[in-house]
C-alpha cells in the first residue's frame, strides 16, 4: 500500500492544507488531513466540516470510494475550497 504526502493552496492563496493520501488494501484511497487552517470560531464538528476520523487521523468525508490517487487529490482540492468558504463566510457545504 502506498502513501503520498502533498499540499494544496486554495485558489485565493490564503489557505494551505497538507494531506497524506493513503492507499487501502482494496485499492481505494483516503485523504488524511495532516494540517489545515483553524476554523476561526466556526463549529468544527465532523458533520459541519465534512471530516471523519479513524486510528490514523482525520480524513476528508466523501460519499463514494476514491479509486485512484488522482481522484483523491481532486476531492481533497474541492474540500479545501469548500472549507475555505466555510471559514471565511460560514457557507455550509
Backbone dihedral region for residue 27 (phi beyond 0: left; psi -120 to 50: alpha; all else: beta): left
CB atoms within 10 A of CB 4: 13
Per-residue pLDDT of the chain (93 residues; tens, 9 = 90+): 899 999 999 999 999 999 999 999 999 999 999 999 999 999 999 999 999 999 999 999 999 999 999 999 999 999 999 999 999 999 999
**Is the full-model pTM beyond 0.85?**
yes
Helix (H) or strand (E) holding 21: strand 16-23
Question: Of 48, 35, 45, 25, whose CA–CA distance to 5 is shortest?
Answer: 35
Secondary structure of 33-54 as H, E, C letters: EEECCCCCCCCCCHHHHCEEEE
The domain ranges of the chain are: 3-89
Amino acid at each position: 500500500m502506498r502513501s503520498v504526502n502533498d499540499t494544496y493552496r486554495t485558489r485565493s492563496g490564503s489557505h494551505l492544507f497538507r494531506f497524506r493520501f493513503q492507499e487501502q488494501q482494496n485499492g481505494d484511497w483516503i485523504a488524511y488531513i495532516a494540517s489545515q487552517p483553524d476554523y476561526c470560531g466556526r463549529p468544527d464538528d465532523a458533520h459541519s466540516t465534512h471530516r471523519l476520523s479513524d486510528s490514523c487521523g482525520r480524513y476528508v468525508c466523501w460519499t463514494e470510494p476514491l479509486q485512484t490517487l488522482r481522484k483523491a487529490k481532486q476531492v481533497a482540492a474541492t474540500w479545501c475550497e469548500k472549507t475555505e468558504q466555510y471559514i471565511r463566510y460560514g457557507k455550509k457545504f
